[in-house]
Amino acid sequence: LALLYAPASSGDRPYRLVVLMHGAGGSARQGLDLLLPVADAHHLLLLAPQAAASSWDLIAEGFGTDVRRIDGLLESVFAGYPVQDVLLGGFSDGASYALSLGFTNGDLVAGMVAFSPGFSAPLVTHGRPRVFVSHGVDDRVLPVDVCSRRLVPRLRELGYDVTYREFPGGHEVPEEIRTAAADWLTPHHPHPTG
């Protein structure tokens, strides 16, 4: 159902939990790998669910099976680890899903990391979570012009704090983007929870 990665505990220091959604046809392992190389250095607890179908429920028929699964996974993680913040992240369809789920639950989610998203379709919006978006200028799967270059200005108009990084390349997450996202995830000032 999911993969979990926890860096070694450092006393009672709470983790930032990042729930990572894989792209269409992908696997929980591919979700986990999005931030695994930077998890230890940034003290990130990573949870990578597997979609029930080839992509996330929202893409096919609206929130349902996957949301219930993620809720159950979160309960078990909260029972086992000290968590300071919950953030959502993903790649491609997983990035679209992370944004949609994050805005719908913005009172619970501190922020979202969207690597090459196609869209954001929250049912309702709550709170003001922070957003990090990256996109390759040569992306042929989800072209930047019709995806992030439309999405990011719209989010900013709605009052969201959006960090946006374009990079030379295609439908991928280059090392420098992964590092920039991890730095963004762990700001030097504490965020209140709740």
pLDDT per residue, tens digit, the chain (194 aa), is: 899 999 988 777 899 999 999 999 999 999 999 999 999 999 999 999 999 888 887 655 666 788 889 999 999 999 999 999 999 999 999 999 999 999 988 889 999 999 999 988 877 888 999 999 999 999 999 999 999 999 999 999 999 999 999 999 999 999 999 999 999 998 754 444 43
Number of other residues whose CB lies within 10 A of the CB of residue 178: 19
Residues counted in the chain: 194
- Name the CA dihedral angle for 133, 54, 51, 6, rounded to a multiple of 10 degrees: -70
The one-letter amino acid code at 194 reads G
Angle at CA of residue 131, ends 126 and 137, nearest 5°: 135
Q: Write down the pTM of the prediction.
A: 0.91
**Residue recorded with tokens 């953030």:** 87
- E strands along 9-95, which residues? 15-21, 44-49, 83-91
Residues contacting 72, CB < 8 A, separation 6+: none
Rounded CA-CA distance 150/11 in Å is: 43
pLDDT score recorded for residue 15: 94
Residue ranges in 81-194 assigned as alpha helix (H): 93-104, 148-157, 175-185
